[in-house]
Amino acid sequence: MISNIGSLTIGQLAPDFSATAVYDQEFIPIQLSKYIGKYVILFFYPLDFTFVCPTEITSFSDQYERFSNVNTEILGVSVDSKYAHLAWIQTDRTSGGIGDLQYPLVSDLDKTISKAYNVLNNEGVALRGLFIIDSNGIVQHSTVNNLAFGRSVDETYRILRAIQHVQSNPDEVCPADWQPGDKTMISDPIKSKEYFTAI
């Protein structure tokens, strides 16, 4: 079940959805709006038992605590069934599986979630879309890659931290390549010049 279907733009409420996911080798219900109060990394990938996908999925899992420590949950989504997700999780990484994950994999078998987030391609699989949704359920960032190349978990974390910083400090903006702890800019024609005199 899904609501708020339409063109997806930055600054809008993330399309809500209810679906079944696999987590801790069990089938669990997922509803995006239940995550209000937390930030969410929502990422789509093409298919289970493929090649680039496990590198992304396991990287997010291996770095899950880094995201969890800053009030952020991770959800992976593909058009595979919950049974395919379970089989892939139950397969060891050295045998082409992904092993146990620290976050849920959502089944979008009817493809409604992929359509709502505008990542479904003509072949019926999701492109590598990634969305950062803030604690109010608003889409703050999106990026979409084609099928053959993966995303950077480190860059996702950097952007997440920049979003959190400017939301906590509304007079500040983050310049290019900003990292947590770096100097920011004041969003003011005069005060912003202080940034350039300090570099």
- The set of catalytic residues is 53
- What is the biggest distance separating any 2 CA atoms in the chain, rounded to whole angstroms? 58
Residue type present at position 81: S
How far apart, in whole angstroms, are the C-alpha atoms of residue 172 and residue 98? 40
- Residue 54 burial (CB count, 10 A): 20
Contact of 70 with 164, CB cutoff 8 Å: yes
CA distance to 63, 108, 147, per residue, from 50 (Å) = 21, 17, 11
Alpha-carbon dihedral 188, 159, 145, 40, rounded to 10 degrees? -120
How far apart, in whole angstroms, are the C-alpha atoms of residue 171 and residue 78? 38
How far apart, in whole angstroms, are the C-alpha atoms of residue 146 and residue 127? 6
3-class secondary structure, 35: helix
